[in-house]
Amino acid sequence: MKPISFLTEEEIQKLQKAEASSNKEQKKTAEQIEAIYTAGQNILVSASAGSGKTFVMAERILDQLARGVEISQLFISTFTVKAASELKERLEKKISQQIQETDDVDLKQHLGRQLADLPNAAIGTMDSFTQKFLGKHGYLIDIAPNFRILQNESEQLLLKNEVFHQVFEEHYQGENKEKFSSLVKNFAGRGKDERGLRQQVYKIYDFLQSTSSPQKWLNESFLKGFEKADFANEKDKLTEQIKQALWDLESFFRYHLDNDAKEFPKAVYLEAVQQVLDEIGSLNQESDSQAYQAVLARVVAISKEKNGRALANSSRKADLKPLADTYNDERKAQFAKLGQLSDQITILDYQERYHKGTWDLAKTFQTFMSNFVEAYRERKRQENAFEFADISHYTIEILENFPQVREAYQERFHEVMVDEYQDTNHIQERMLELLSNGHNRFMVGDIKQSIYRFRQADPQIFNEKFQRYEQNPQEGKLILLKENFRSSSEVLSATNDVFERLMDQEVGEINYDSMHQLVFANSKLTPNPDNKAEFLLYDKDDSGQEEEESQADTKLTGEMRLVIKEILKLHQEKGVAFKEIALLTSSRSRNDQILLALSEYGIPVKTDGEQNNYLQSLEVQVMLDTLRVIHNPLQDYALVALMKSPMFSFDEDELARLSLQKVEDKVQENLYEKLVNAQKQAASQKELIHTDLAEKLNQFMDILDSWRLYAKTHSLYDLIWKIYNDRFYYDYVGALPNGPARQANLYALALRADQFEKSNFKGLSRFIRMIDQVLEAQHDLASVAVAPPKDAVELMTIHKSKGLEFHYVFILNMDQDFNKQDSMSDVIISRQNGLGVKYIAKVETGAVEAHYPKTIKLSIPSLTYIQNEKELQLASYSEQMRLLYVAMTRAERKLYLVGKGSREKLEAKEYPAANNGKLDSNTRLQARNFQDWVWAISKVFTKDNLNFSYRFVDEDQLTREAIGELENKSPLQDSSQSSNRQSETIKEALEMLKEVEVYNTLHRAAIELPSVQTPSQIKKFYEPVMDMEGVEITNQTQSSEKQISFDLPDFSTKKR
């Protein structure tokens, strides 16, 4: 067909006006029309949650096809395979509809060809495109088209470990072995081996895989921070901070002396205050950094003296207590800041002193990393097996080095379209640049939903274009989609209330202003006060915190009973189907107790299917121990586990009898040797090994020998199924609770063993080693998915919920602390600064006494490490904010935020005043979890009439409600008697619960004591009871004989 020209800007404006004046029930917004029809330049669409970005993308593709563009001329990248499949389905339906509706024969034929070509169109993930590309063009760099993908994490780990040990040995025996030995020792830690180094190497390797050229980045950027280190500049910056902190302290003290000190005329602290002011007063404009550091040291010393610590109120007037407390809190904060600056002076001094040693270590590390990257790359080429990142690197290599290939693709693609652009990493961005002709990119995303930093996604790629296009429209067009068609006004108002006060450029990487705020646009959802978002807090008694945490896996927690109560209320009172309810978590660490709680109340649940606890399931552990014994029966733990398993059912008495037979002239060091001897000595030791036990032992040994013989000549897959069939183990687990899932796990074990042997790794020994390496690395394999119930509550991580929507959403574990493991690592890598590392230095103590060590080891963070740590902290907090945003915007009708904490402590917290309508930056950066942010907002902005409410529920309230519900379910009682009986029943039940709690407390050691324990373990269990000896347990009311003191409090003592 003859191509049809694209709309001009004037034509788009006319279309917008026509749409606005139409009678359509669901109209396109002006911005959606602009995003669909604008052409001829790079376009960035910033699409907020629920704004219809998928609709816009599909409509833009359909418009281009209708203008004569071929589907093969479009490059369309989606974030997931599922998203690509859904987009293809939507396009297929729409194209078919257009074919039926049009009378234009040429258009009908053209669209028919597009429909036929749709399955082969370049619509999919970046990985799927690069696979096809390398299969077609890999010959240019000597890669055969029959390569395979290393998708199995355990196989990757095995291969990586082999290469690491090979490179490790080369360096350990090389000419720079002393420097390399220092590198190994620097990361050895308590393990005193190479595992620390290996962990850091793999971490850096994962980062390098996201760069467009790993070796180039290693050579040019790895040591960048050391090369540009400027200690003079750092000292100047630190001096400025010291100046400001001393001036702030001076202002604070002078204000206090001028306004409040007259209330405390006899207070001895005033002498210390005057000392501080005299020290600060000695400084002037000509004072250098040494002078400021000296004054800082003396002021910090004064703060630690008795008179400098707190305000003592000798008059003890009760009305002065708030004034004294306010002064002491502010004084403490001021001195704490000075103490931190004093510590920074010491750290900076050590950093400068050991800079050269740290740099030399980093150079050795750079060499090792370079050799490892190259060796691992070559090994994968030998295996003709690659990771997805490798395929992307080879694709970029071909596009950069073979102009004819690059130009062919640039001519082919009319437009390069990318969905979820905010989650792009640098290797993907480079590939998109090479496929584009420079002015035909269409990028859709939302920086507020960038939550894949752990996959090396960089939201700054999106942010840089957003700011560039906003400031200079000639660079590209920025289109904002703000209208939300998904959620109720109650959900959107609550979300806006939180993020208007939480997110800005400093912490959050964007200003949550009118350009980013959500706008309600779903006219079908009418406002409903019952849908106001709720912040539910279980009022937890801190006194039982340790016990609660220790029982977390088995105890039905208060917050989960609170959630279950709300779920049952929605289901039973409002008729909400379970499948319309979602429970979202930031991680899966507490999922076991959530599943337990839901199952106890009979609530069906469906998980996201990616619980990485496959190796922890009991039936799999039994089979792994069986395979370990077949490989090497001298492993006592595995052998005992197999014998005690349902396959053989030896009990403790039988195992003891087999272990206690007499042996002459031989010391047996393992259980297997004892079993062999027991077979021989059974006839002569009948008092220990009776006939039935001897027969049982013989059967066990015969079966074990047959399995070991079978393993030598058969595959792992066949061996595993032989074990299942010989001992009917597969059938046995099928009869247990949750049997189908258990059988699926065993079936998957056989399949995984089969896949393992098909990947150039052979044998039982290597399979066991692979499993052990996965466990050693604290990894696991994904659990096997089984068919979920149709009507079930959805339990998933926030990451998995992205792109989905549910009528009712509970965000659980708001009190769960953020994961800060990355910031505690010995290595922090930054794209801007390169390597930051903690250097282990031997420092002389100067000790003369013989019993004092002459040297100690100090861990000194490099200057770059400190810079990278700050950068990482800001990036991590920003990502956590975006994670909360994604979670809150999944709700269509009502949103619940669920956490826990002591009501008394939470309500006593005080926060700095708001700054330009935002939470104070320190409040935001000191938060440990989502709950800290939302609670701070609810406290600081109480006068703002926030669009979410908070509610505390304590244990007594949950218990009363639970008992009340049980009583209400009794239809046999006469209504006149019911209320009296119910109140009496509740009283009796509460009294009984109190008695049980007291009894359990007193006898907790006996309740928890296992049947077999060592004396020291028994003592540990009884310690709480021993500690209670002599403690008087009284009622709430005090004895009339005891005298109550009404003395005024002494302000000079502070509760610590």
**Contact by Cβ (8 Å): 222, 834:** yes
* 623 Cα distance to chain centroid: 31
47 is in an annotated binding site: yes
**Contact by Cβ (8 Å): 296, 342:** yes
**Contact by Cβ (8 Å): 856, 845:** yes
Query: What interhelical angle do 355-383 and 177-186 show, nearest 10?
Result: 100
Q: Sheet with 834-844: list strands edge to edge.
A: 827-830, 834-844, 855-861
Residues 6+ away with beta carbon under 8 Å from 953 = 536, 537, 538, 539, 558, 562
Helix (H) or strand (E) holding 187, with range, is: none
Q: Give exposure, 727-753, as e/b (b: 16+ Cβ within 10 Å).
A: bebbebbeeeeeeebbbbbbebbbebb
**Contact by Cβ (8 Å): 150, 385:** yes
Any idea what the Cα angle at residue 374 is, between residues 370 and 375, rounded to 5°? 115
337 is in an annotated binding site: no
Q: Token pair of 966, please? A: 């049980």
748 is in an annotated binding site: no
C-alpha to C-alpha distance for 506 and 875, rounded to whole angstroms = 10
Q: Token pair of 549, please? A: 């945490």
Tell me the sheet residues that pair with 418. Answer: 77, 443
- Going from the C-alpha of 208 to that of each of 148, 522, 595, the distances in angstroms are 21, 44, 38
* 998 Cα distance to chain centroid: 39
Query: Which of 738, 768, 446 has its CA nearest to residue 596?
Result: 738
- Provide the 10 A C-beta neighbour count for residue 369: 21
C-alpha to C-alpha distance for 52 and 487, rounded to whole angstroms = 12
53 is in an annotated binding site: yes
**Contact by Cβ (8 Å): 364, 177:** no
Residues 6+ away with beta carbon under 8 Å from 900 = 537, 538, 539, 540, 557, 558, 559, 815
**Contact by Cβ (8 Å): 556, 596:** yes
- Provide the 10 A C-beta neighbour count for residue 562: 23
Amino acid at 188: A
* 900 Cα distance to chain centroid: 19
48 is in an annotated binding site: yes
Tell me the sheet residues that pair with 806. Answer: 891
Side-chain-facing half-sphere of 200: CA atoms under 13 Å: 25
C-alpha to C-alpha distance for 582 and 280, rounded to whole angstroms = 59
**Contact by Cβ (8 Å): 111, 99:** yes
50 is in an annotated binding site: yes
Residues 6+ away with beta carbon under 8 Å from 488 = 520, 522, 525, 527, 528, 531, 891, 892, 893, 894
State the residue for tokens 């008729």.
575
> To the nearest 10°, the Cα dihedral for 882, 887, 889, 890?
140
The 8-class DSSP code of residue 883 comes to H
- Going from the C-alpha of 1043 to that of each of 623, 1038, 1039, 1047, 1050, the distances in angstroms are 68, 9, 9, 12, 19
C-alpha to C-alpha distance for 776 and 162, rounded to whole angstroms = 15
DSSP string, 50-90: TS-HHHHHHHHHHHHHHTT--GGGEEEE-SSHHHHHHHHHH
181 is in an annotated binding site: no
Going by the annotation, the residues of the binding site are 47-54
Binding-site positions for ATP: 47-54
